Chains A and B, each alone.
Chain A
């Protein structure tokens, strides 16, 4: 089973880009990388996912290294409302998502 490693916490200044790293060195070729975030006492919110190529949507960008052993979620202009726990997940089985402890991002004014 692929596992992910994320820093427990990070700070970011409001208006700056937040770059959240994730290591998944044992990822298999057909496993996707998913990112979710969870604001306190709410359900996780889907952000983005990818397989090999970099992906961008209205919320964020996902950069996956060529060897797929790590990825970075980029919030281009962080706001105070982006303060949350961010989860990087590699899909182990098709029917579940293994959530670790994630990275607690604090956006500061």
Chain B
């Protein structure tokens, strides 16, 4: 089955801790994206990567970091510098810069 997987589905962390969210795709897509969604709101872009070893900040990158060491993987780290990290995090990928984006199932992060 081709697709995008995100793990875990639910994640809890204590305030002040860093946490890493996983995103893997086996669609052979070049571009990958991370979005954040707050209750009742649309999606906001955190980071995106068009190619391995390269990534760009989106609209709300502060307090987040990413890496793109492999084409299939684009992990997102939510650092302690992120003031309000509790949210639903969505990963997406596309074949190229203009391709249709396909989304993973999401990870719901709750800071206790």
On A, residues with C-beta under 8 Å from B are 34, 36, 41-46, 49, 87, 94-102
Contact between A99 and B40, CB atoms less than 8 A apart: no
A36-B103, A43-B6 are known contacts; what are 8 more A-B pairs with Cβ within 8 Å? A41-B106, A43-B103, A44-B103, A46-B100, A94-B97, A95-B33, A97-B45, A99-B42
Contact between A43 and B42, CB atoms less than 8 A apart: no
Separation in Å of the B50 CB from the closest CB of chain A? Answer: 7
Contact between A45 and B41, CB atoms less than 8 A apart: no
Chain A residues lying within 8 Å of B35, measured Cβ to Cβ, are 99
**Complex partner residue of A34 from B33, B48, B50, B100, CB under 8 angstroms:** B100
Pairs A–B under 8 Å by Cβ, sample size 17: A41-B88, A41-B106, A42-B105, A43-B105, A44-B90, A46-B101, A95-B33, A95-B48, A95-B50, A96-B58, A96-B59, A97-B43, A97-B45, A97-B101, A98-B42, A99-B35, A101-B41
* Top 8 A-B residue pairs of the complex, sorted by shortest distance between their CB atoms: A43-B103, A99-B42, A99-B43, A94-B97, A96-B45, A44-B103, A100-B42, A43-B106
Chain B residues 85 to 112 lying within 8 A of chain A, measured CB to CB, are 88, 90, 92, 97-98, 100-106, 108
Q: How far is the CA of A41 from the CA of B39 in the complex (A)?
A: 10
Separation in Å of the B23 CB from the closest CB of chain A? Answer: 11
What residue in chain B is nearest A100 (Cβ atoms)? B42
Contact between B97 and A101, CB atoms less than 8 A apart: no
Chain B residues lying within 8 Å of A99, measured Cβ to Cβ, are 35, 42-44
Chain A residues lying within 8 Å of B4, measured Cβ to Cβ, are 43
